A and B are shown apart, each in its own frame.
Chain A
Amino acid sequence: MAKSEALVLDFWASPFAMRVKIALEEKGVEYETRHEDDLLGNKSELLLKSNPIHNKVPVLLHGDKPVCESLVILSYIDDEWPQPPFLPSSPYDRSVARFWADYVDKKLFEAGGEIWRAQGEATEAGKKELFEVLKNLEGTLGENDYFGGETFGFLDIVIIPLTSWFYAYECLGGFKIEEEFPKLSTWIKRCLQRQSVAKVLPEPVKLLEFVRMIRKMHGLE
């Protein structure tokens, strides 16, 4: 018999999987994780069965029912366990949070990827794009403590895992986030003080090692 009702199909470095784990922690839901050791070569039967369309982590299995795509999973967690709410209460504010979550999904990880998956000019282009994305996000944050305003919420959960990759981007791109984006840096430190975030996010140096390993595999180091 399963100890807990929720199972996350996981990969330690996946910022998308981190979102799900943080969300469950925030709601106080007991969950287990099952790590996919070989996402490139040999995906587990359970993963392929639970996510036949995309074959990707994360997947949340609640009872037997699979939920796929991290933003869909976040909304599901918020619907299923309403307290404390992740999304603001007004429809307009909710649409703004969803807009920026979607923007982050379309732009942030991709821009970072251009930095570490390449060299020279391509890395420079990636850096420029990343800076534009972070500038937009800092604009949205404004003077607030969190993207959710006074409380840690949906958009904070969406973005914070991606920041664990920043150290890798900094080392490969030759810049410091703290110098370029001080407000964002402060927000990152504030979020890292939350138990859910501190527990879930891997150490940035481990992600740098991971990135270096992949670069080596592709002859970039």
Chain B
Amino acid sequence: MAQENDIELLDFWVSPFGQRVRIALAEKGVDYEYKEQDLMNKSEFLLKSNPVYKQIPVLLHGGKPICQSLIIVEYIDEVWSDKPPLLPAEPYARANARFWADFTDKKVYECGTKLWKLKGEEQAAAKKEFIEIFKFLEGELGDKTFFGGETFGFIDVALVPFVAWFYAYETCAKFSIEEVCPKIVAWGKRCMERESVSKTLSDPDKVYEFVLFLKKRFGVE
């Protein structure tokens, strides 16, 4: 039976959405039990904890489930408010952080998936879209250390897990992200200097292996 303060995370090792939550928990120094899920054979517990989407990540706090990665990150920020905040205090800055995190949610994963799932002209179109998305992000980052300025925050948490996927995207679609968006790549390296990030992000080689596995499963060659 879950105790009042027990924290469990239902997750999948390579999921960038799950990694957002792991990074947030690490930033706040929160202890939790990680429970790897088999997504091809979903557990009763996962289905019960997230009946609407049946997806990871799910954070359980004292047995109560919270779903959707950015909502979970905001929850973590509010509960562990004694630790440095992930969202800024000022309303307009908060709105800006939420806007760009939402942009990441709407655009990055879907477009990235197209890079390995599609071929030929369709893949070329996806590559163009991907570069446009990251140029927007680079515009927002500018010359700042992190998206929030001097401190690592909400937008950084939302986006950084996808950095581990860059190698896979580049290899599948044959381009260099560093060439088109050098500031983003530099930002990614700065984030990796943080323990919360370096200990959480998957090895890019392993992500690429996983993508090859997915390509096989979806019959993409």
Contacts and interface: CB of A to CB of B under 8 A. Distances in A.
Interface of A: 53, 62, 65, 67-69, 71-73, 75-76, 79-80, 91-92, 94-95, 98-99, 102-103, 136
Given A75-B98, A79-B95, A91 B79 contact: yes
A99 B52 CA distance: 10
A158 to B, nearest CB: 14
Interface string B93-127: 01100110011000000000000000000000000
Given A53-B136, A91-B79, A103-B52, A73 B71 contact: no
Contact of A95 (B72, B92, B103): B72
A75 B68 CA distance: 17
B74 interface: yes
Nearest to A92: B64
A111 B78 CA distance: 33
Interface in B2-56: 52
Contacts of A136: 52
Nearest to A79: B91
A99 B98 CA distance: 14
A84 B208 CA distance: 50
Contact of B95 (A53, A67, A91, A92): A67
The list of the 5 closest CB pairs from A to B, nearest first, reads A79-B91, A76-B95, A91-B78, A80-B91, A95-B75
Interface in B116-154: 136
A109 to B, nearest CB: 15
A75 B79 contact: no
B60 to A, nearest CB: 11
Given A91-B79, A94-B74, A95-B72, 18 more contacts: A65-B92, A67-B92, A71-B102, A72-B99, A72-B102, A75-B94, A75-B95, A75-B98, A76-B92, A79-B95, A80-B92, A92-B75, A95-B71, A95-B75, A98-B71, A98-B74, A99-B66, A99-B71
B16 to A, nearest CB: 18
Contacts of A102: 68, 71
Main secondary structure of the interface of A (DSSP, over half): helix
Contacts of A103: 52
B71 A76 contact: no
Nearest to B53: A103
A72 B68 contact: no
Q: Select the residue from A65, A67, A72 with max chain B CB neighbours within 10 A.
A: A72
A103 B68 CA distance: 10
A103 B98 CA distance: 17
16 contacts: A53-B103, A65-B92, A67-B99, A69-B102, A71-B98, A73-B95, A75-B95, A79-B94, A91-B75, A91-B78, A91-B79, A94-B74, A95-B75, A98-B68, A99-B66, A102-B68
Interface string B57-82: 00001001011100110110011000
Contacts of A73: 95
Contacts of B68: 98-99, 102
